[in-house]
Amino acid sequence: MLVPVSDACFLMFVMLILRGLSRFVLYMLPVKRSASQGEVVLSGCSIKKNCVAGLLASPSDTSDKPGSGGGGSTDNTNDFTIGNISTTRAQVPIAMSTGDGNPSDIDEDLHSRQLAVYGRDTMRRLFASNVLISGMQGLGVEIAKNLILAGVKSVTLHDEGVVESWDLSSNFALTEGDIGKNRALACVGKMQELNNAVLVSALTTKLAKDQLSDFQAVVFTDISLALAIEFDDYCHTHQPPIAFIKAEVRGLFGSIFCDFGPEFKVLDVDGEEPRTGIIASISNGNPAMVSCVDDERLEFQDGDLVVLSEVQGLTELNDGKPRKITKARPYSFDLEEDTTNCAPYQRGGIVTQVKEPKVLNFKPLREALADPGDFLLSDFSKFDRPPLLHLAFRALDKLVCDMGRYPVAGSEEDAQKLISIAGEMNDGQGDGRLEDINPKLLRYFAFGAKAVLNPMAAMFGGIVGQEVVKACSGKFHPLFQFFYFDSVESLPTAQLDSNEFAPANSRYDAQISVFGSKLQKKLEDANLFVVGSGALGCEFLKNLALMGVSCGSQGRLTVTDDDVIEKSNLSRQFLFRDWNIGQAKSTVAAAAAALINPQFTVEALQNRVGPETENVFHDTFWENLTAVVNALDNVNARLYVDGRCLYFQKPLLESGTLGAKCNTQMVIPHLTENYGASRDPPEKQAPMCTVHSFPHNIDHCLTWARSEFEGLIEKVPTEVNAYLSNPGEYTSSMRNAGDAQARDTLERVLDCLDRERCDTYQDCITWARLKFEDYFANRVKQLTYTFPEDAATSTGAPFWSAPKRFPRPLQFSTSDPSHLHYLLAASILRAETFGIPVPDWVKNRQKLAEAVDKVIVPEFQPKQGVKIATDEKATSLSSSSVDDASVINDLITRLERCHVTLVQNFMMKPIQFEKDDDTNYHMDLIAALANMRARNYSIPEVDKLKAKFIAGRIIPAIATTTAMATGLVCLELYKVLDGGHKVEDYRNTFANLALPLFSIAEPVPPKVFKHRDMSWTVWDRWMMNGNPTLRELLQWLKDKGLNAYSISCGSSLLFNIMFPRHKERMDKKVIDLAREVAKVEIPPYRRHVDVVVACEDEDDNDVDIPPISVYFC
């Protein structure tokens, strides 16, 4: 409860806020986003800021609840309490992230990665949603964190209990100074810091059912079953229904129940883009058979609905009517349509999947307990586990109701009571009776029932947070309706005495009650390396600090990241605030994690992990590690770290996310395959001729636009500066190259400094206007002149057949806003590269149009004999000619004449592409270029945000998926640090929260190689001592029945049987050959050199042997 104060105290505080609101709020709640409402807690007094802000704000519009036809009341009054003073306040609108009081605005710089997952409509529905979270132990605070980062309208934290030291190992918002305070009040300030565009408030008294009507979704993490049934009945029958979620984490066990009402509409079941195909032919028949071009497999399934468009010939199919497909095949399908009497198909056509909403009929908890239906399965090795856990959680609820407390860790008596209750319940289930209630599992369940473990809270916080998003937006398929999970494999392999679970009066007592004190000591003394401190890295550091990893006298954690904080990071990387923008990620993250647990021993570095930093991450560094946790965002870095872990025999805990999908992989020495053992196929690249002349989708247009942007704004100015910095050396290198690429480069440099040189801003406008004519009119006219619409290939087939689209030139018009916007962006960036000031009038549409009208555009005449690349296998569009050298000489002569006309010390200013700054016109130009090109080819255009996703290669990301992935990894870390687990105890995971789908399985063991009586895996390394010669190494291998025919060190060959001169090296020391031939620089701390040997057995069969470490002292 809050500390009582007088009415005078209340009035004093209100006046204080009215007179100095801005200063007061900035002091109490540091701003991370735009100004918004929240709760201020001062000296035991709780004041809702919106009680005062309501005097200045207009009433908000009511908003319907997505998926259910409406939400809880948005104009009801709510109570706030200061001590024993109860006052009524009117609910007020929440200012969104733009800070201008417009709830529909979305800060695209901040939410770009989340927008890539959800889209604008979903985000707007989230911004209108109010959520209640009851129970502020570890699970509740994790759910709250994910929703506040997502940007819901408000989050109300409810808890009647007080903070105990027990809570400190799972709740990152609490400190030792909070012990004895109300949990919700202790959390509210730090949760508000995550996003000041979200109203975060606290409730500390008992909830009444009618209070739930203020929310679109309610989540309970610590509630009795009887009360949950009562609340859910109210939510289920409320009009409109209120989404109800009950979630629990009990030790290594967890459960979720969802009820979103009797008729919940899912607007988008999977979040994937509608599938499309390019039509190649349509038969006249019933049903009609549709064949598509074979450049990409179709992903349609029987029963999918599709619409057809742009079909020539069978124009009846262009009516926009959804039609069902059958007999779906990789490149064709049957369409439920009779085309027998229709005109024959001519050419063209696009088929697009139609995604239909889905209605789910949820049962209330009261009914679902007795008739749960199908459980969502996560681990197929535990297919019989969900019904048992359904029984176990009900038995635990009854035990707690009977005893008034949770079972004591290590108490066999309490465990037996739980087992007995479960047995009685099972016997009364009739046909649903379980054959085996697994007393051993129930014993583990009882021992850890009171504990909320951080990894479990993180995992379930991600899942539940995503379910709330679904409930508020209708985006993605909800969990229907029960989900159970356990990770008993994480328990120590050794049998523990009951005294191992005894509390140590520390912040880790909850964890000790599950794992015992010995494993806790191993956690504290671990030496970990976390590679990356972005979204995954922040979550990992938080989890590890709460778990007590590297918090002992022997423990140490090193985190490294060479990146700095950007605004777009703030919606997921929750350890950062907006005042950290521009600072090193690793430094800020490490400092924030140390605040979560002051005992956390962490060192932050800003080094990229790679061959160039092996002087920092040297042999001794790797050898002293206990384990490595990857938090990286690119494959090459992952492969390098994987190689290091393989070499030094260190466990690697790997994970990654992509939107609502995530995966985790455990790489354990000698037990599992390594990360690099299997790889995804390379991403398919569009042929260059397609991108440059024959695009058929917006991706091709954006790829071209990004390439043109970099060429015009970065590469050409860089080449100009290279020439101006040292003309003699530059021209000499071009003469030496003497090829088509050198010729093209010189032509661009010469054009930039001569024909296209800009001295005034009007010159920049002229340049932009002529570029428009070149790109979108002249090139198209030349292309269609070379290949007319009726052109045929050498085989007589139509040249412009699918997937090619016949283009039309554009006519520039100052009345077209998109044309002027292109001119604005292009001219501003051109001016920047030449150092020309941008006048204020340029953003005035009329004045810009007047300036464009002054440009004289020459008439274009198509040329005969122009060669346009049509070979899809071509890697370059430059064509070589026999006179390249003479052309280059001529270009250099002209360039030298042009050079003398430049002002002294003239240099250009190349611009590097930056996608996350919406004020720099980079994406404006790229989107404009792409959309004009799309207009040429009748391809649907996209807005700037969509263009940013594609051209900026933005990886979709949301906080919920990241939280779940890191929780799963940390459950595996318990096993790694315990050290006694078998491969079947470890788990790899693939999950998709959108469906939802969980696929958890044992890791794949490493491949075993055998020769004679020897066997080895990728984890093995052979060692040879005694500073051997090459001859001695070959003989050492021969003694093993292996004939070496090639030995390499790094990228150099030390020996190959095919080279007679290599026999002269036979009596040289291997270490000397490595230094002389491979130029290996051996650091002073290293006493060996590694060589790779290719060899055969006695039957001339190749044998893959491990790398060999040759020791020289």
Residues assigned a catalytic role: 689
**Residues paired with 999 in a beta bridge:** 990
Give me the amino acid identity at 440.
Answer: K
519/534 Cα distance (integer angstroms): 28
Q: Are 220 and 246 in contact (CB under 8 A)?
A: yes
Q: Count Cβ atoms below 10 Å from residue 412 Cβ, excluding itself.
A: 13
Grouping H, G, I as helix, E, B as strand and the rest as coil, residue 1099 is coil
202 Cβ contact list (under 8 Å, min separation 6): 39, 46, 156, 157, 158, 182, 184, 185, 187, 188
Structure token pair of residue 858: 């020459």
Instruction: Tell me the H-state helices in 448-584.
Output: 454-473, 509-515, 517-524, 535-547
Neighbouring C-alpha atoms within 13 Å toward the C-beta of 244: 28
Instruction: Tell me the H-state helices in 910-1010.
Output: 922-936, 944-951, 959-978
Structure token pair of residue 543: 């989890």
81/31 Cα distance (integer angstroms): 25
Calculate the dihedral angle through the C-alpha atoms of 1081, 1087, 1091, 1095, rounding to the nearest 10 degrees. Answer: 160
Structure token pair of residue 231: 């609340």
Cα–chain-centroid distance for residue 414? 43
Whether cis (ω within 30° of 0) applies to the bond prior to 240 is yes
- Closest Cα to residue 817, out of 698, 695, 931? 931
Long-range contacts of 1004-1007 (CB under 8 A, 24+ apart): 1004/672, 1004/673, 1004/677, 1004/678, 1005/671, 1005/672, 1005/673, 1006/670, 1006/671, 1006/672, 1006/673, 1006/674, 1006/677, 1007/673, 1007/677
Helical (H) or strand (E) element with 245: strand 243-250
Structure token pair of residue 611: 């061959």
814 Cβ contact list (under 8 Å, min separation 6): 820, 849, 852, 853
226 Cβ contact list (under 8 Å, min separation 6): 401
- Closest Cα to residue 1110, out of 1044, 1022, 998, 1051? 1022
470/476 Cα distance (integer angstroms): 6
Q: What secondary structure letter does DSSP report for 681?
A: P
Q: Count Cβ atoms below 10 Å from residue 943 Cβ, excluding itself.
A: 10
Cα–chain-centroid distance for residue 250? 29
391/811 Cα distance (integer angstroms): 71
Q: Are 470 and 478 in contact (CB under 8 A)?
A: yes
Cα–chain-centroid distance for residue 261? 31
Q: What secondary structure letter does DSSP report for 840?
A: G
Neighbouring C-alpha atoms within 13 Å toward the C-beta of 603: 10
Could you list the beta-strand ranges (E) of 1-53: 39-42, 45-48
Buried b (16+ CB within 10 A) or exposed e, 574-602: bbbbeebeeebbbbbbbebbbebbebbbb
923/593 Cα distance (integer angstroms): 35
Give me the amino acid identity at 1111.
Answer: Y
Helical (H) or strand (E) element with 416: helix 412-427
**Residues paired with 249 in a beta bridge:** 254
